[in-house]
Structure 1
Amino acid sequence: MYSEAVSLADSARPISNLTGCCTFSEESFRRLERCPETMKSLGGVLVTLPVHLAKGCTLSRRGRLRSQSISEESLMLSGDNMRETMRTAQLEEGAPACLLPTAYCLLRRLMTRRILILILVASTIVSPLALFAEEGMWLPDISKSLPVARMRLKGLALKPEEIYSTNGPSLKDAVVIIGAGTGSFVSAEGLIITNHHVAFSAITASSTPQTNYIENGFLARSRAEEIPAKGYTVSITRSFTDVTAQVLSAVKEGMTAEERQKAIDARSKELVDAARKNDSALQYQVVDMFNGLSYYLYAYEVLKDVRLVYAPPKSIGFFGGDPDNFEWPRHTGDYAFMRAYVGPDGKPAEYSEKNVPYRPKKFLTISMDGYKDGDFVMVMGYPGSTFRYRESYSIEYRQNRLYPYQIEILQALIDLMTEASKQNQSLAIKYADQIFSLSNAVKNFQGSLQGLRRSNLLERKRADEEQFMQYVNGAPALKVKYGGLLQQFAELYRELKSFDMRQNILSGLINQSETLQLLSAAVGRALDREKAEQQRSPAYSETAIARVKQAIPEMVKQRDPAFERKVIGLFLEKAGNLPRGEKVESIEKLFAGKSGEERKGAEAEFARKLFEQERFSSAEAILKLFDLSAQQLKDLNDPYLNFVIDSVTELQSMSKRTERFNAGVTKLRPLYIEGISSWKKTTLYPDANRTLRFTYGEVKGYKPRDAVWYQSQTTLSGVIEKDGGKEPFDVPERLKQLQARREFGRYLDRKLGDVPVDFISTADITGGNSGSPIMNGRGELIGIIFDGNYEGLGSDYVYNGDLSRAIAVDIRYVFFLTEKFSGADYLFKEMQIRGGESNKQKAVGR
């Protein structure tokens, strides 16, 4: 499923020396703070969804995630639902493994009670617009980039200013970032519709064995019963302004890659600070497009009080589970309703019983008229990451190194969590969201890997680059400018491959064990305090550490030692299998002189004795470590603390190498895109980076393989046909009764003779689009995007109009379930519904 997170936008850059993890730019760090979901980092595992990545994220958080200053190629983090798969800071490609500072990862993990994954994917050069009219995730001011006249012939009935305007209400005011995905306002009272999987973290966070909202669903019968969605925010784009000239004016001739990036980061911060000074009610970020060819200043209104209103049970919201994930035909009711609140003064505020529903400038009208094959549709949302302009070295790295590792390590974690979940219901609830996100990420990676291989993209890209160099070598001026590009990329990737796997494994070991992660936070704090004040990381500020300390008692209480022991064993085994010359120094020091069965026994003993140490057995004991200096920690001469100190130091060293890699590719890529586009004379759109985008297409089936044609719609009868009586194909009894009695009401599609469930279109989407509204030409809501098809998973690299499809749940199925199954049709009273028999209802809103 598509949720992103993701995904960090392509604009974040490394900051220096974040203790214990990879480095992020200050701007990236702020973005991460706005994305709780992204922040639930899966420490140390290269994943790319959604940020929840990942399922943004997630990445789908069931989707894709992405990261940031950690190398883009190897990073792992994930998306608020990383949340906000991440508002999305973008990560460079470099070495992964090092995550956010351990303290920061801990804080987010504790606040959201979830693990996020950062998913990374590569990209390639886009085809000319003339080849695929639907290709591209365009900036929403469509009058500047898209053939509006031709779109009108297809069915667009809105004026460009009704889609995007800063002078009056437009669709941009109705479409929001929520969690690791996207949502849209559907009432004047702040009601938001999104995906079940985007809201899943809120559902699990409020579930207990006694009130299991995962299995039973949740319904608030009144505003007073709506429950806080912990860790969620809602972000609304208010404007975006081209600031390319201002940002690049900071770059001077002769700057090194690192100096250039620091200058860009500093100038971006100046622009953000100036904007904030002018209007402190909004939040700002500078985002790069085309990997740094251009820069935009975005302004967001961020709402901090988000509540869960209604979500169907998992047997509807995630019907088909992992077997159906990314597949078509699909029969999932992947939707949920949430609500945004503000303070009594109408300004964003933290949760309070005194808060009142937010009144959006614009909300969407619901259409019950349906659609047919060939109908024009459009999607607005916040896609997390695509990589359609990446060099062949990036694709080779992902195809042959990153994806295989990610798939292997994440599947191993899923297996361990699944085994732990069988112990009791409390553990099942604890791991439900993580299993959900990781499973989505694994299938995403598998599909992306298959898509890369099936499309022969690497070979095509190399052939393109060979022709490009022939073009360059034919003109002296071009040779001076572009002649050394590919060789410089080759050298950077050679350096990356010399340390990336050990970085991933060591970071995974530290961050996937909650106990080692806590120790790493204490050590990182102590080491950070030895630096000059201006060099210290915000992750270890007094405020940040105070929040970590506050959360530690609950974290220690929730620890699962049996699971941690197995996770530690998993990563120690991976470390032991690394080839000579690529070993993890801190781990080899721990088991010096041991091999074979002797080493396996020592690894098991290390994991077992960690939980027998009195110094780490209680929250009180661990809290004391945060008050010690680095020297005092060393003086304890504790083997576990010594190991963590060595590991943090080793990770810091590798983070500096990652930073150099990121700075290097960041400097080269704008030049690469400029040269390729000049040679190909291609119409370009910017890669997705978690900013608001517009895409369009048509309702259309596809041919996945020889002699097979998939129609564009599924129905309720198909849901019943899949019923197997047990998860994930367990149709609720009440739904079976409704179908048997044909109690379809106004939701019957007379042409189908059934209730429509899901449908597909050629709209170009990716992780982070989960929950995006899919609309007809009048801008009326006809469905909610929740996934992409397996055959189209390679579209993060190159769009294929014959195979790539966006999967959406039909709004008529949503309303059928809301009314007939759950009895929640009271929500309709605050919506504006048109078409079908619904026009008999009194419309409320605008």
Structure 2
Amino acid sequence: MNKKTLLITLLLCGGLAQYAYKTPEEGMFPLSEIHKVDLKKAGLKIDQNEVYNPNGISLVDALVNVGGCTGSFVSNEGLIITNHHCAFSAVQLASTPEKDYLNNGFVAKSNEEEIEAKGLTCRITDSYEDVSDKVLGAVAQIDDPATRLQLINNAMKNIALEAEKNDPSIKAEVSEMFIGKSYVLFKYKTIQDVRLVYIPNRKVGEYGGETDNWVWPRHTGDYSFMRAYVGKDGKPAKYSKDNIPYTPKKFLKVNPAGTNEEDFVFILGYPGRTFRHRPAQFIAYQQEFVLPYTSDLYDFQNATMENAGKKDKTTELKLATRIKRNANVMKNYRGKLQGLKAIDLVAQKKQEDAALAEFINGNTEVKAQYGSLMSNIDQLYKQINGDANRDLWLTQIYTSTSLLNVSKQINAFKTALSSQPNAQKESFFNENVSKLKQSLNGIYESYDIDVDRKILKKMLSDASAFNTIQRVSAVDKITSKGSNNETMINDFINDSFGLSKLKDQNYVFSTLLKSSKSINDYNDAILEFEKGIAKQIADLKPEKDRRDGVLNKLMGDYVNVKEKFLKKGFIPDANSTLRLTYGHVRGYSPADATYMAPYTSIKGILEKGASGKPEFAYPNEIKTLWEAKDFGPFAKKDLNDVPVSFLYNMDTTGGNSGSPIMNANGELIGVNFDRAYGATINDYAWNESYSRSIGVDIRYVLWVASKIDKADFLLKEMGVKL
């Protein structure tokens, strides 16, 4: 091994060159890997089996996946704490101009007052099992990449179906831990009846708005409380007034004393997706195409929706969840872009890959198996990059325009209906129309015709400018009718929206979906346009499947050879399965001569509020209580104030929203909700010097609940003494 290769190997093993910190806390450890971590040495005071015990009850049993976020049980009556933003969509659906829970908050003082959290369920991890041999055994002799991937997907599906057949009470999923390399069967219990219990005022739960999103210092009370219900027999059941609160196997003890700087802390949760074991080409694709395209598109969408929301309160509420989700992604992606460029991760990955290629070529046995690996990866990404603009457009078109999404659902239903024998068409219609209505209702709940028009115009204009190789045929059909693309696009939108009856939900539900004949007889320009998009997606699918299959095999080989090169294993990338991460409460220096302390306080809320900006408005009671120094038992002595948010160097990403932050004794001392701006690149790289996550301090949660929202009954339920 020459000096250059040796140097790069040392960098790979020791971390990024410009960050000399030791990084023992890196990693989102799956349940199967927790036994390999010495948490006692790191600072855990309880027995490690109390965190996760496959043969008994442990803290893991207090965790739930709720609405794509994490939550935790905090009482034996099924009470769940998670983030305010995780409950946001359900609160929006429960709100009306007369009962504006979204902005004013909500407190249920009895079980009878709790409101159904529409669209939310709770998923509890029951068990797991490594099934890599079963999955990969099905493709041991298969060379064709598309066939190989299809067989892998089929094996994953069949293993899950078999598990559900053996135990109908669970929902099973096989998760890919390392792409093309390792697979784990997870079994889940799903609670279908979830209710809103306590939602703070939006000026608390979303304090700072998008100005403060992904930013430190933070003063957001990003928390909410829900409750899980089951049938009287203790089994999961759909929402019913007869249901009873769920009794969890385990719930977390709340510690109102909170933490101090450098305290050991850990998180259990369901982090979404990370991509740390990918080559330079993948990072470059994200940096050049995915991140800028998506963030710019969402910026335009939000400006359009915010302007539409000024029409009336009903429209504002309908669009609130979509705006919030877009804004969160947009700022996250722009943070990622800034972070990727700041540490020049693409260049660093290229160095790593060059060292890996040299290792492959320098070892006869390894070269025989992986000699073409790096060139094959490069060739594949050249193909992917060549179609990037069109592919991203096709990925976003249905979520961008509500009526196109409605059209997609209706066209798919019509196609399924037409495939039935004539004698069975009506029965098929009757059996499936309610499911279609339910799906369409979810789209119409955030639909606004003016928003649809303007966003579709942008999407069509963008597509009309694509190069020859990336044309969208359905858009070309519109623009081919004249010499001026803008005029043709405007005419299409005006005519199609003007004539389409799909914009009227009442018509769709009461007339169009009245019978198999009524839906079959209806057609319009938007439905025809959607058919064109769907046809092109179908035509492109074989090549997409081939590329996905090639990528699956290449990434499995990439990790395999990298493990040989570095002579160590890796922690699998996050994939929405239950993980543990640990670290310490700790500040950091994001820039030269700048230090960020790890705690904020109520004083900071008042200071920001003095700016007069609407996002920094807060309930008047906060100032009154602060001036009176009425902190109850929730003050932090060295601050002489109630701590609001705090920092820690744990490894988190999307999906960790709502994750319980626990102290060395396994007690709840906060709720994770965000990362600092520099840590938005956690999906691609983690380092102790810049990766900081943000949680709401449990002392602020309890102070607001008790002093402002008069919810002492919840504190009592959680065993917190005043």
| TM-score over 0.5 (shorter chain) | yes
Contact 1:126–1:388 under 8 Å retained in 2: no
Shift of 1:128: 7.0
* Aligned with residue 650 of structure 1, among 536, 544, 547: 536
Q: Percent identity?
A: 37
For residues 640-679 of structure 1, what are the structure 2 equivalents within 5 Å? 640-679=526-565
* Aligned CA distance change for structure 1 residues 487 and 271 (closer, same or farther; 3 Å): same
Shift of 1:424: 0.8
* Aligned CA distance change for structure 1 residues 386 and 507 (closer, same or farther; 3 Å): closer
Shift of 1:667: 1.4
Determine the structure 1 residue equivalent to 2:274: 386
SS at match of 2:586: coil
For residues 200-279 of structure 1, what are the structure 2 equivalents within 5 Å? 200-279=88-167
The aligned amino acid for 2:548 is N
* Aligned CA distance change for structure 1 residues 588 and 165 (closer, same or farther; 3 Å): same
Contact 1:126–1:798 under 8 Å retained in 2: no
Contact 1:508–1:571 under 8 Å retained in 2: no
* Aligned CA distance change for structure 1 residues 544 and 128 (closer, same or farther; 3 Å): farther
For residues 9-408 of structure 1, what are the structure 2 equivalents within 5 Å? 131-141=22-32, 144-146=35-37, 148=38, 151-408=39-296
* Aligned CA distance change for structure 1 residues 773 and 313 (closer, same or farther; 3 Å): same
Q: Looking at CA atoms only, which structure, 1 or 2, has the larger radius of gyration?
A: 2
Q: CA–CA distance in 1 between the matches of 2:438 and 2:578?
A: 36
Contact 1:126–1:684 under 8 Å retained in 2: no
Q: CA–CA distance in 2 between the matches of 1:660 and 1:306?
A: 41
Q: CA–CA distance in 2 between the matches of 1:392 and 1:378?
A: 31
Determine the structure 2 residue equivalent to 1:790: 677
Contact 2:115–2:196 under 8 Å retained in 1: yes
Matched, 1:700 2:586: yes
Q: CA–CA distance in 1 between the matches of 2:598 and 2:462?
A: 44
1:65-100 Cα distance to aligned partner (Å, 9 max, x none) = xxxxxxxxxxxxxxxxxxxxxxxxxxxxxxxxxxxx
* Aligned CA distance change for structure 1 residues 516 and 270 (closer, same or farther; 3 Å): closer
* Aligned CA distance change for structure 1 residues 453 and 126 (closer, same or farther; 3 Å): farther
Matched, 1:604 2:495: no
* Aligned CA distance change for structure 1 residues 307 and 740 (closer, same or farther; 3 Å): same
Q: CA–CA distance in 2 between the matches of 1:676 and 1:630?
A: 59
Matched, 1:831 2:718: yes
Matched, 1:712 2:598: yes
Shift of 1:546: 3.4
The aligned amino acid for 1:682 is K
Shift of 1:651: 1.8
Determine the structure 1 residue equivalent to 2:424: none
Q: CA–CA distance in 2 between the matches of 1:126 and 1:404?
A: 31
Contact 1:522–1:625 under 8 Å retained in 2: no
Contact 1:700–1:712 under 8 Å retained in 2: yes
* Aligned CA distance change for structure 1 residues 662 and 471 (closer, same or farther; 3 Å): same
1:211-261 Cα distance to aligned partner (Å, 9 max, x none) = 111211010011100001001111111111111122221113243112212
Determine the structure 1 residue equivalent to 2:434: 546
Q: CA–CA distance in 1 between the matches of 2:267 and 2:500?
A: 56
Contact 2:387–2:469 under 8 Å retained in 1: no
Shift of 1:802: 0.6
* Aligned CA distance change for structure 1 residues 541 and 657 (closer, same or farther; 3 Å): farther
Contact 2:265–2:662 under 8 Å retained in 1: yes
* Aligned CA distance change for structure 1 residues 428 and 518 (closer, same or farther; 3 Å): same
Q: Bigger shift: 653-662 or 667-676? A: 653-662
Shift of 1:648: 1.6
Q: CA–CA distance in 2 between the matches of 1:826 and 1:173?
A: 24
Determine the structure 2 residue equivalent to 1:744: 631
Contact 1:125–1:798 under 8 Å retained in 2: no
* Aligned CA distance change for structure 1 residues 809 and 448 (closer, same or farther; 3 Å): same
* Aligned with residue 699 of structure 2, among 805, 812, 833: 812
The aligned amino acid for 1:444 is N
The aligned amino acid for 1:371 is T
SS at match of 1:239: strand
Shift of 1:581: 2.9
The aligned amino acid for 2:701 is V
Contact 1:126–1:389 under 8 Å retained in 2: no
Over aligned residue pairs, what C-alpha RMSD do you find? Answer: 2.6
- Ranges in structure 1 where 5+ consecutive residues have no aligned partner: 1-123, 534-539, 842-846
Q: CA–CA distance in 1 between the matches of 2:14 and 2:195?
A: 42
SS at match of 2:196: strand
SS at match of 2:468: coil
Shift of 1:731: 1.5
1:725-754 Cα distance to aligned partner (Å, 9 max, x none) = 442100111111111111111112222111
Output the TM-score relative to the length of structure 1.
Answer: 0.79
- Ranges in structure 2 where 5+ consecutive residues have no aligned partner: 1-10, 422-427
* Aligned CA distance change for structure 1 residues 239 and 554 (closer, same or farther; 3 Å): closer
Q: CA–CA distance in 2 between the matches of 1:515 and 1:125?
A: 49
* Aligned with residue 733 of structure 1, among 605, 609, 620: 620
Higher helix share: 2
* Aligned CA distance change for structure 1 residues 620 and 214 (closer, same or farther; 3 Å): closer
SS at match of 1:367: coil
* Aligned CA distance change for structure 1 residues 553 and 761 (closer, same or farther; 3 Å): closer
Shift of 1:421: 0.7
* Aligned CA distance change for structure 1 residues 815 and 674 (closer, same or farther; 3 Å): same
Q: CA–CA distance in 1 between the matches of 2:289 and 2:195?
A: 41
Q: CA–CA distance in 2 between the matches of 1:296 and 1:594?
A: 55
**Between Structure 1 and Structure 2, how many residues are aligned?**
699
Shift of 1:621: 5.8
Contact 2:646–2:697 under 8 Å retained in 1: yes
Contact 1:125–1:390 under 8 Å retained in 2: no
Shift of 1:773: 0.7
SS at match of 2:707: helix
SS at match of 1:714: strand
Q: CA–CA distance in 1 between the matches of 2:445 and 2:153?
A: 40
The aligned amino acid for 1:220 is A
Shift of 1:575: 1.2
Q: Bigger shift: 523-532 or 249-258? A: 523-532
* Aligned CA distance change for structure 1 residues 126 and 608 (closer, same or farther; 3 Å): farther
Shift of 1:484: 1.0
SS at match of 1:765: coil
Shift of 1:544: 5.2
Contact 2:512–2:519 under 8 Å retained in 1: no
* Aligned CA distance change for structure 1 residues 203 and 592 (closer, same or farther; 3 Å): same
Q: CA–CA distance in 1 between the matches of 2:88 and 2:356?
A: 46
Shift of 1:816: 0.3
Q: CA–CA distance in 1 between the matches of 2:253 and 2:471?
A: 58
The aligned amino acid for 2:340 is L
Determine the structure 2 residue equivalent to 1:97: none
* Aligned CA distance change for structure 1 residues 608 and 811 (closer, same or farther; 3 Å): same
* Aligned CA distance change for structure 1 residues 607 and 357 (closer, same or farther; 3 Å): same
The aligned amino acid for 2:233 is D
Determine the structure 2 residue equivalent to 1:483: 371
The aligned amino acid for 1:706 is D
Determine the structure 1 residue equivalent to 2:607: 721
* Aligned CA distance change for structure 1 residues 825 and 141 (closer, same or farther; 3 Å): farther
Q: CA–CA distance in 2 between the matches of 1:414 and 1:126?
A: 42
Matched, 1:493 2:493: no
Q: CA–CA distance in 1 between the matches of 2:176 and 2:285?
A: 23
* Aligned CA distance change for structure 1 residues 620 and 768 (closer, same or farther; 3 Å): closer
